Amino acid sequence: MTGNNIGLFFGSFNPVHNGHLMIANYMAEFGGLDQVWFVISPLNPFKTDADLLPDYHRRELLMRAIGEYQRFRVNSAEFKLPKPSYTIDTMAFLQKSHPDKSFSLIIGSDQLPKFHLWKDAQQILEKYNILVYPRHPSPVTSHILLDHPSVHMLNAPMLEISSTFIRQSIKEGKDVRFFMPDLAWQYIDEMHFYR
């Protein structure tokens, strides 16, 4: 499938799970997007994660999770950009690389209270639409940014599944295969990740 209206879903995807895919699917179907690109972050400037799998393994997990589904794509642009990676820099890079595309940013509602701390936050608001999905534990239904014309709150299902939960469960010897796409789970199991 081709289309020019692209949603950018940034994350470490460590690992990707069904919640990520469900949110992306909701954004594609109800957010007016032609495609959702999963942009893999090498290292979030606000996080330090000792359990972070190497970039190429997280990319492989995503590729297996998405399979042949045409409305999803994996994007590893941030692997080539200076680290730490910042959303505005990646979006500018992608816009320059794909001038025919119109990009929107997909974020969880938990990002709204700290959005002003993002690099060039005002520039993001001026140049791009921001699609917001409710995120546990605080869905944030009222925030000053929700009144901004570029910010659109979508009534996506609130999902409590997290990558942290999956990593911790695997470390504890739990079988959480049904929280993830089958091929991604198989890869984690074969490679003994997070144990």
> pLDDT (tens digit, 9 = 90+) per residue, 22-61?
999 999 999 999 999 999 998 665 665 668 999 999 999 9
Q: Provide the residue ranges of all domains of the chain, joining segments of one domain with +.
A: 5-161
Return the CATH architecture of domain 5-161: 3-Layer(aba) Sandwich (3.40)
Distance in angstroms between the alpha carbons of the first and the last residue of the chain: 38
In the prediction, which pLDDT does 46 show?
60
Mean pLDDT within 129-147:
79
Q: Would you say residue 14 has pLDDT above 60?
A: yes
Q: Which of 9, 21, 8, 11 is nearest to 161 (CA)?
A: 21
pLDDT confidence tier of residue 11, bands split at 50, 70 and 90: very high
User: Average pLDDT, whole number, for the chain?
Assistant: 92
Round to whole Å and give the CA distance between 166 and 21.
15
Residue 159: the pLDDT is 87
CA distance linking residue 15 with residue 24, whole number of Å: 15
- Residue 3: pLDDT band by 50, 70, 90 thresholds? confident
Q: What's the pLDDT score for residue 139? A: 58
Half-sphere exposure of 15 (CA within 13 A, CB side): 33
Asked if the model's pLDDT at residue 1 lies above 60, the reply is: no
